[in-house]
Amino acid sequence: MAVGIVGLGLIGGSMARAVKQAGYPVYGTDIDRPVLLKARMLEIVDEELTDDNLRDCSVVILGIYPGATVEWLRAHGQYINRETVVMDTCGVKKAVCVPAWEIADRYGFTFVGGHPMEGAAKIGFDHSDSGMFHKASMILCPREDITLEPMKRLKDVLDAAGFGRYVMTTPEHHDEMIALTSQLAHVVSSAYVMAPNCLKHQGYSAGSLRDMTRVAYLNEVMWSELFMDNRENLLRELDGLIEHLQEYRNALERSDAAALTALLARGRMIKERMNGEEERS
């Protein structure tokens, strides 16, 4: 059972390394020809993925941006075997799944939205890692009418890649949650480093600044596309954050120590509840 990988960057390259290490034949392609050549030389990719051998892939994983994912499916859907399961790895789901399901209906293959909950600060094939997805969570957004067989075939490949937890949801709920758990954090981190004193932090931080700014090191082209594709959910989360920040500012401006203490206590208690939920899950 061959696995096709479109895009051999951090996510696609790590998928290719992991499933190849697990014994699957891997057909891969990348817009950057030297990357594909390197993957072939390292024997991570057995063959270049083409319209001809695309039909031989039981599972195809798309490791490219949302817009490029839809465009690739439109261009290559006619060459995909009806028995093939195609999964994307984008950080938004509704913008991808809705058109992808229409294309899948047109050509008869199965499409499942996917989002691996793992990544790294550095991007590109050279930073890909066969162990990146070890025990990681994979969010899956299948259509309601999907049957067990294609889902099992996809899970076999994802198990081989190392995933240890699967969350099934709808594209709408995925995007709502990711606006909070990922996208808002990237916006805050990016805005945080714009404070002029950030460049003078050496010796003045015990780790808080590092933790708050870790994800400011990002691929701005990709994240801008993700933010725009999910802008309504992200705007709602930003509005909520701004409202809460204003509460802290108001308490400070009024020199209201009691109000400030109450806000901090509320935040602490919510974090304690979050810790408890994480320990139980």
The two tokens of residue 113 are: 């939205």
| pLDDT interval class at 277 (50, 70, 90) | confident
Q: Is it the case that residue 24 has pLDDT exceeding 90?
A: yes
Q: Which of 144, 169, 194 is the last residue of a domain?
A: 169
What pLDDT is attached to residue 281? Answer: 66
What pLDDT is attached to residue 69? Answer: 98
Q: Is it the case that residue 1 has pLDDT exceeding 90?
A: no
Tell me: the pLDDT tens digits for 79-129? 999 999 999 999 999 999 999 999 999 999 999 999 999 877 678 899 999
Same domain, 27 and 98: yes
- The domain total for the chain is 2
Tell me: the pLDDT tens digits for 130-167? 999 999 999 999 999 999 999 999 999 999 999 999 99
Same domain, 183 and 95: no
Q: Are 84 and 59 in contact (CB under 8 A)?
A: yes
Q: Count Cβ atoms below 10 Å from residue 252 Cβ, excluding itself.
A: 12
* Average pLDDT of the residues in 37-53: 97
Q: Which are the contacts of 251, defined by CB distance < 8 A and separation ≥ 6?
A: 257, 259, 260, 263
In CATH, what number is assigned to the domain containing residue 80?
3.40.50.720
Tell me: the pLDDT tens digits for 177-222? 999 999 999 999 999 999 999 999 989 988 899 999 999 999 999 9
Segments forming the whole domain that contains residue 187: 174-280
Same domain, 138 and 162: yes
Q: Are 188 and 214 in contact (CB under 8 A)?
A: no
Q: Which of 169, 185, 200 is the last residue of a domain?
A: 169
| pLDDT interval class at 64 (50, 70, 90) | very high
Same domain, 162 and 212: no
- 259 burial via Cβ count (<10 Å: 0-12, 13-18, 19+): middle
| pLDDT interval class at 27 (50, 70, 90) | very high
Q: Which are the contacts of 173, defined by CB distance < 8 A and separation ≥ 6?
A: none
Which DSSP category does 163 fall into?
-
Q: Which of 169, 195, 211 is the last residue of a domain?
A: 169
In CATH, what number is assigned to the domain containing residue 220?
1.10.3660.10
Q: Is it the case that residue 23 has pLDDT exceeding 90?
A: yes
